[in-house]
Every structure is written in structure tokens, then in C-alpha cells.
Amino acid sequence: MALILLMALLMLGVGLLFWLPKYRLQRAIARPFPRRYAKILRKNVPVYARMPADLQLQLKHLIQQFLHQKKFVGCDGLTITDEIKLTIAGKACLLLLNRVTLVYPALSFVLVYPTAFVVRHAEVAAGGLVTHRNQVLLGESWSDDRVILAWDHVRRSNAENDPGHDVVLHEFAHQLDSESGSTNGAPYLMSKARYARWSSIFSEEFALLQEAAQHHSLSVIDHYGATNPAEFFAVATEAFFEKSVALGQEHPVLFNALKEYYCVDPREWR
């Protein structure tokens, strides 16, 4: 009898362990979206105001989930405010609209610096010699659990001020890229056939961008994308959301591949 009771208690405990986080999340999503949050979105994520009501509602739910699950950490004395949280979560969640996906499952922390920050990277030369190099960055995405951002740049960068350059879209595209197991320019695509199609389209477009960068030719996709396939996907994502008409006209095949992946057409939000 005691054993049965113990088993029942154990099962109840395990059940609660699984049920409680889900219950808390559902409660967080069900809370009314504060008006001051919507005001911040209209100011710092201007595309929000131009979206249809169903996407606005989806975005608000995704933001609530993001805010519930991720911890924001202010660095170098920065105090985390609602404006910082809403601006970053709002832009990051644009990449998840209409998609059957979790909200950046590997991500636990968003570290925010007031301005550009310095990171120290180790580099291993061919002979095995390790050197360290300081790099000034506006953003960085780690595949394990964090994204690091410079707040002054996040606040300034949007499609209105500097189209095609948005450090939040960029770093969160890297997060999606790493969900496939390696950060190589191909996010999780569900089928072998889709990977093959993606690889063929992106390899060709990457080569075109490398050529444009070598010849200093104008391109709707920033030349930084020619660095490697992972940067190409991140930079193409920025162009897809912020220079959608030009990208659709000049790179229709790439645009359609991104449209199929992101499940939205930002040309409709102008």
C-alpha cells in the first residue's frame, strides 16, 4: 500500500514537473499585452504598425513567450528597460511568424551592452600556434545559449534609418542557422529535398555576392555576406525583411527560398 502511494506521489511529482512550466507559459501568453509595450513596438519596430492584425497578434504572443523564457542581462552598467526588451524581442520574433517552431529553444540569455563591445577571440594558426585577437562588435550569437547586442546600435537600426542593416535580425538569423546542428548557412529545413534545393540556391547566390564584393559592385545584399555561408544567410535575412522589394526584383529565386522558409512576404507590409 505504501509502495503504491509512493509511486502515485512520484508520478504526480513528475507530472507536475512537466505541466507547471507549460501552465506558466500559457498564463504569460494569455496576459493582456500592455499598451506601453505596443507603443514601444510602434516606435522601435515600425513594421509592426503596418502588419495585418492577425500577424500583430501572433507577434505579441511570440514576444510574451520570448520575455517569459529568456533572461536579459545588462552589461557594463546598462539597466535593462521595457524598451530594450521589447525592441529586441519584437525584432527577433519577426523571424518566427507563421512558422511551426519553438521560440529560440537553445537561447537562454540576451546580453546587452550600452554600445559596441570588445571580445577576445582565440585564433589557431596552421602550425597550431594560438594567438588572441580583440574584436569590436555590435552583436554576436553563440550557438549554445546567448546573443550579445549593443543597445545603441539596436535602437538606431531599422528599415527606415538604415535599410538592410539590422543587428537583431542578423544575430537571430544565426540562432536559427545553428538550430540545424551547425552554423553553416542552412537552418533546420525538415527534409533532405529542401536541404538540396537550399544548398543549390544559396551556393549560387553566395558565389554571385563574392564576385560582386571582389569587383566592388553594388548589391542589394551587403558585401559582408560574402565572408562565409553563415554570414550570407544572416545578411540575406536582413535584406529579406528590410529591402524586400529590391531583393525580390534582383534575386527572385533567393527571395522565394527565404519567403518559403520565413513564411511571410514583407513586401506586403510597406
Q: How many angstroms separate the CA atoms of 177 and 171, rounded?
A: 10
**Whether the Cβ atoms of residue 153 and residue 166 lie closer than 8 Å to each other:** no
Note whether 173 binds Zn ion by CB under 5 A: no
Please identify, among the stretches 46-54, 98-106, 190-198, 232-240, the one whose residues bind Zn ion according to the rule CB under 5 A. 232-240
Question: Residue 148 Cβ, how far from Zn ion at the closest point, in Å?
Answer: 12
Question: Residue 232 Cβ, how far from Zn ion at the closest point, in Å?
Answer: 10
Measure the CA angle with vertex 161, ends 158 and 166; round to 5°: 30
Note whether 234 binds Zn ion by CB under 5 A: yes
Q: How many angstroms separate the CA atoms of 164 and 162, rounded?
A: 6
Burial of 246 (0-12, 13-18, 19+ CB in 10 A): middle
Q: Cβ closer to Zn ion: 64 or 166?
A: 166
Question: Across-strand partners of 118?
Answer: 136
Q: Cβ closer to Zn ion: 64 or 183?
A: 183
Q: Cβ closer to Zn ion: 166 or 231?
A: 231
Number of chain residues interacting with Zn ion (CB under 5 A): 2
Measured N-to-C along each axis, helices 192-214 and 252-262 cross at an angle, to the nearest 10 degrees, of 140
Torsion-angle region of residue 218: left (phi > 0), alpha (psi -120 to 50) or beta? Answer: beta
Q: How many angstroms separate the CA atoms of 9 and 23, rounded?
A: 20
Note whether 264 binds Zn ion by CB under 5 A: no
Q: Cβ closer to Zn ion: 177 or 248?
A: 177
Please identify, among the stretches 186-194, 227-235, 237-245, 249-257, the one whose residues bind Zn ion according to the rule CB under 5 A. 227-235
Please identify, among the stretches 67-75, 102-110, 130-138, 224-232, the one whose residues bind Zn ion according to the rule CB under 5 A. 224-232
Q: Cβ closer to Zn ion: 26 or 135?
A: 135
Where along the sequence are the contacts to Zn ion (CB under 5 A)?
Answer: 231, 234
